[in-house]
Amino acid sequence: MPALRPTACLALADGTVFYGRGFGATGTVTAELVFNTAMTGYQEILTDPSYAGQVVTFTFPHIGNVGTNPEDDEAAEPVAAGAVVRWDPTEPSNWRAAESFGDWLARKGRIGIGGVDTRRLTRAIRQQGAPHVALSHDPEGRFDLEGLVAEARAFRGLVGLDLARGVTCAQSYRWDETRWAWPGGFGRQAEPRFRVVALDYGAKRNILRSLASVGAEVVVLPATATAAEVLAHEPNGVFLSNGPGDPAATGEYAVPMIRSVLERADLPMFGICLGHQMLALALGARTVKMNHGHHGANHPVKNLETGRVEITSMNHGFTVDAQTLPEGVVETHVSLFDGSNCGLRVEGRPVFSVQYHPEASPGPQDSAYLFDRFAEAMAARRGEGTEGR
């Protein structure tokens, strides 16, 4: 029996081509290629705004088996440019499934490729760094390979690129949905104790739910909001969200705002992922591009102040250079994979941030206490206890 003709291909800028079977949308997209080691949560990963400008290779082979459903979206639309998987997605087998993975990708305009040797691809990414790629899906299997390699080489990359503007909200809004809990699902925060202004650099919904779950009325502002706009809401705390792209590029407008808020108000401030990098830049540190980044739900991080090791969810391709942290800023967490910075705090002030994702979705719950710490800082600033929370 003749072999089936490939209907998708992944062309790397170095000329390497991987063939496979396409699913989801048709067409061609160029992006940076990264790998994610999570065993669950492919829908949450592809809708995480931090993946803007990237195609995701899943190292776990069985992707798509549980289908998709509206509750698991971390943003209104998928943000990742495409998905690379080992085995073709099967029909969904889960009571929550509302749509198959392939149909969902097609409806959302995102390309998938199956049948790829993802182990070989992952080794290439680790050894050579996150490559620029062109991913193409044509049901007839017609590919201009030279043209695809040329498109991959022409992709400008993420260094110097501000992607937060493309994924942030167009206008401010309020959020009161709390985390999912059995059997009722998502709840509502009807009696908030705090008002938190959240800067949306590409915020995941589960981060906002986590803030609401510890007692916050959340006011979400666009990434370009000014310090005056932040303080006009009279917040009890300021949150800096996750997001995509080069932090130095986003920092051109975000850093002045953060510095101004830090100078004008002794407010608790909490940052995650890109928000962590924004805070570090505002305090005088620098960020650098990583070889292949950290993407997955099994990353060990050590809390240097307690000695505790947390298993965390991560998604970042840039990191804070710990050697550039100024006096008065303490490194609090480090990756046990490569020693890179994963957290900081300002001495004597309720200002802290982490590189990883304590809200998980997907991932472990080891670091959810950080939202409690933020709530405790807001309560302390108002002279309150935390027993009633």
d(CA 48, CA 216): 22
User: Do the beta carbons of residue 355 and residue 169 sit within 8 Å?
Assistant: no
Is-catalytic flag, 387? no
**Residues 22/111, Cβ–Cβ less than 8 Å:** yes
Sign of CA dihedral 174, 40, 31, 243: positive
Options 32, 151, 359, 376, the catalytic residue: 359
Pairing of strands 17-24, 8-12: antiparallel
Distance CA 52, CA 346 (A): 30
Residue with tokens 């062309």, as numbered in its chain: 11
Identify any residues that bridge with 333 across adjacent strands, giving them in sequence order: 303, 343
> Could you confirm whether 273 is annotated as catalytic?
yes
Residue 357 annotated as catalytic: yes
Is residue 63 within 8 Å of 42, Cβ to Cβ?
yes
Q: Which of 9, 273, 276, 310 is catalytic?
A: 273
Q: CA-CA distance, 80 to 6, in Å (whole number)?
A: 23
Buried b (16+ CB within 10 A) or exposed e, 217-248: bbbbbbbebebeebbebebbbbbbbbbbbbbb
Q: Among residues 295, 342, 357, 376, which one is catalytic?
A: 357
How far is CA 95 from each of CA 65, 362, 363, rounded to the nearest angstrom?
A: 12, 18, 21
How many Å is the Cα radius of gyration of the chain?
21
Cite the active site residues.
273, 357, 359
